[in-house]
Structure 1
């Protein structure tokens, strides 16, 4: 019997390489949306740090929270994460004064409002809805204006010259203030756009401090029974302080702001 010799050949496996496209963010000029085409903020560590250091947009703003700016990162084609700061002296935006019962107070402010929030475009167009958290550190100084020659508190007129200057501070109790807004973000060019927002932030109840420049002086007044009486200047300040604290000035901070955005 004849057996044919046979040769055995080893077949190598075939490998096919595919090129993976890098993460990219595109901008839809018609809808005004920053589009994240392959995933952005959430991913690997390398992708995360690359995204954080390469925001999709930068904005400048002015409004009731102050003068400031923010950076934006695309989460998807309808949602953008924002981190920003607004502050400065914005008392004039509130009229520069306010009334507490019968006393008018001049206001001087120094605001600092860092915030983190999300802008959402429910219809993928220029209309936006926003929400987030503010970390308020706002300095509010007040000075009482006398009504003629008196400070009128709880219906009693206290001699203003004897009381001296009534001045103090107002501080909100909330260390974190939630906010919500609605707005619009029309585009001028592919890279440049404008925006406006309306809303409110809950800053919480207030703690007030009022001092008299003549704390130890005798202050004359006519009591509820129509008899002449007197108290110390510091006591007049305490009465004004109680009224001011009950006012809860800017417990709900109105948010009105406009600005401009540049998209990379």
Structure 2
């Protein structure tokens, strides 16, 4: 009987160990009742969400350090952005995508472009000559938005890759084009038209702005700043190339080739350095995931 009792107790211990979290096992013999209760060893962990919305700062906080490490890969972060925005401003009409680096910093990639000449008046003056402007902009950019005090105030910086076509046409002042204090007969000169191109292939920019929330997902923003586009290369042509043009100055009256007038206008445009520091003004709306 003792052998049977010991065997039964041993079997119960083995069964209890194998079952782990099973129901309590009771072994009974004629003399005693022994209860063995298995201890659970499996512990369930609640995964912390990768992103938590910060209603005060208005951005998505990356709780796992997804861009530089942690449990999420760079690819997973790239295909799960923090926000998308639509914008309109002096750089054009466009949109950007943002990824949260932490609760104060976002990385942005975007594009702005189109015909935006009318946004800044559609014309400008280079000394005494007024020019009409027709622009076709393309401005992809990569930048960082930083919230120094983790609220709606932002500071931005980055790089633009400008590919902007700017066409200009000179408007005569009365019967003449006045260029560098010389009056050239407008009818003899014909139409003066050309193009402008900024020299910088990469244009650094800086902005300050505001990005308040208007709900859990939606927000608005505004920014002002400037991009350094560099000096301007100009090309100007006369529609009456080769024709003689009457030129009047304080030294008297003479005649010059219409191409000389075009060259003088071209030089004046380059000296003007039109929008060497290109103003940035933009407004937009943001949707945060």
The question of a shared fold, defined as TM-score above 0.5 by the shorter chain, is answered with yes
> Which residue in the other structure is 1:60 paired with?
86
Which residue of the other structure, out of 171, 183, 188, is the alignment partner of 1:145? 171
Q: How does 1:1-264 map to 2 (within 5 A)?
A: 19=45, 21=47, 24-43=50-69, 47-226=73-252, 228-264=253-289
**Whole-angstrom distance in 1 between the partners of 2:245 and 2:133:** 25
- For structure 2, which runs of at least 5 residues remain unmatched after alignment? 1-40
Residue 20 of structure 1: how far off its partner (Å): 8.0
Please give the per-residue CA displacement for 1:167-192, whole angstroms capped at 9, x wherever unaligned.
00110000000001111011111000
Measure, in 2, the Cα distance between the counterparts of 1:47 and 1:195. 30
Equivalent pair of 1:197/1:256 in contact (CA under 8 Å)? yes
Mapped contact 1:25–1:74 kept (Cα < 8 A): no
CA distance 1:169–1:81, shift in 2 (3 Å): same
Segment of structure 1 superposing worse, 178-187 or 32-41: 32-41
Contact 1:33 1:125 in 2 (8 A): no
Distance 1:45 1:149 in 2: 73
Post-superposition CA distance 1:103-159 (Å, at most 9, x none): 000001000000000000111111111100000001110000000110001111101
C-alpha contact 2:152 2:210 (8 A) present in aligned 1: yes
Rate the CA distance shift 1:51–1:201 in 2: closer, same or farther, 3 A. Answer: same
CA distance in 2, matches of 1:48, 1:220: 67
- If asked which structure has higher relative contact order (CA below 8 Å, sep 6+), I would say 1
User: SS at 1:204's partner residue?
Assistant: coil
TM-score (norm 2): 0.83
Q: State the secondary structure of the residue aligned to 2:204.
A: strand
Assess, with a 3 A threshold, how the Cα gap between structure 1 residues 20 and 176 changes in structure 2: closer, same or farther. farther
Structure with greater Cα Rg: 2
Figure out how many residues of one structure are paired with residues of the other and give that number.
Answer: 249
CA–CA distance in structure 1, aligned partners of residues 216 and 72 of structure 2 = 28
Which residue in 2 is equivalent to 1:5? none
**How far apart are the structure 2 equivalents of 1:45 and 1:124?**
25
Q: Give the drift of 1:21.
A: 3.1
Q: Is the 8 A contact 2:198 2:233 kept in 1?
A: yes
Kindly state the Cα deviation for residue 16 of structure 1 after the two structures are TM-superposed. 7.8
The two structures have a TM-score, normalised by structure 1, of 0.90
Report the Cα distance in structure 2 between the residues aligned to 1:71 and 1:94, rounded to whole angstroms: 26
Given that residues 64 and 71 in structure 2 are in contact (C-alpha distance below 8 angstroms), is that contact kept between their aligned partners in structure 1? no
**Backbone CA RMSD of aligned residues:** 1.7
Residue 3 of structure 1 corresponds to none
SS in 1 for 2:111: strand
- Could you tell me how far apart the structure 2 residues matched to 1:239 and 1:246 are? 11
